[in-house]
């Protein structure tokens, strides 16, 4: 086995044509724990910056925010295209159950975009900085979502035992493609976007959460019935807690 170095990570993980999932697993097993201090530092930093900004004017970050949102929109559009192609081909050729329980999405170009999805959750933490530096309202659900998502993808990515994630990941890519495209246009300030667009995106995000939970329940049931459907029990419960926590916080906010 080739030594795990930053050079081999770049050559075999970050270049989709040479993607080697064994190196990705080695990397994840060795460094997944870093997600915990990263999340702790993230939470500490955003509230420190928010406190620092209390007596200061919002920073003029329109151009930077536009570029940032555009970059994530392009990334998400490409990721959704690749993963939708994978699901489309799998469902047409093999049906729902075989596609759900297959782990082939960890390999090749699909594996690269699965790996890129996990890495992107670190970079998406910067979204919060734009909120606090521009003195916008920082919702509890916002930073809770970012924190739980990073912890989950880091923990569940250590092995090839989270097959339902191909569906939730594809949905997340697609919704982020829409969401960051919306943020890009909004950040420019050149176009007045109807409120219905924001409502539509929020509704789709809620539907994604419900569908994602349902997909994991189906996979867990298949695994319990003896079907070869790689899904660790602890990943299933972690994912369930993540969804319930976000749904609970969202409901509290709605009631308020």
Residues assigned a catalytic role: 145
Alpha carbon 36 to its chain's center: 16
What the block records as the tokens of 47 is: 């509230």
What the block records as the tokens of 68 is: 């940032």
What the block records as the tokens of 121 is: 């959750």
By the 8 A CB rule, do 157 and 118 touch?
Answer: yes
- What is the DSSP annotation of 178-247? HHHHHHHHHHHTSS---HHHHHHHHHHHHHHHHHHHHHHHHHHHHHHTT----B-HHHHHHHHHHHHHHH
Q: Give the number of other Cβ atoms within 10 Å of residue 36's Cβ.
A: 13
Identify the three-state secondary structure at position 136. Answer: coil
């Amino acid at each position: 086995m080739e030594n795990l170095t930053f050079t081999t990570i770049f050559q075999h993980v970050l270049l989709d044509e040479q993607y080697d999932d064994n190196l990705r697993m080695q990397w994840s097993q060795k460094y997944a724990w870093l997600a915990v201090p990263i999340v702790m530092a993230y939470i500490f930093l955003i509230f420190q910056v928010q406190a620092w900004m209390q007596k200061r004017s919002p920073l003029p970050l329109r151009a930077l925010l536009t570029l940032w949102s555009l970059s994530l929109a392009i990334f998400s559009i490409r990721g959704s295209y690749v993963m939708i192609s994978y699901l489309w081909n799998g469902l047409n050729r093999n049906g729902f159950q075989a596609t759900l329980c297959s782990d082939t999405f960890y390999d090749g170009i699909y594996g690269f975009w699965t790996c890129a999805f996990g890495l992107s959750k670190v970079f998406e933490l910067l979204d919060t900085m734009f909120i606090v530096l521009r003195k916008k309202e920082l919702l509890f659900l916002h930073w809770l979502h970012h924190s739980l998502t990073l912890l989950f993808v880091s923990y569940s990515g250590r092995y090839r035992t989270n097959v339902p994630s191909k569906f939730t990941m594809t949905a997340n890519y697609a919704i982020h493609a829409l969401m960051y495209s919306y943020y890009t246009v909004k950040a420019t300030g050149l176009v007045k976007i109807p409120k219905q667009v924001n409502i539509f995106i929020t509704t789709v995000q809620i539907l994604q959460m419900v569908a994602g939970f349902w997909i994991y329940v189906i996979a867990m049931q298949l695994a319990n019935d003896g079907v070869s459907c790689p899904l660790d029990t602890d990943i299933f419960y972690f994912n369930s807690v993540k969804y319930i926590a976000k749904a609970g916080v969202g409901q509290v906010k709605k009631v308020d």
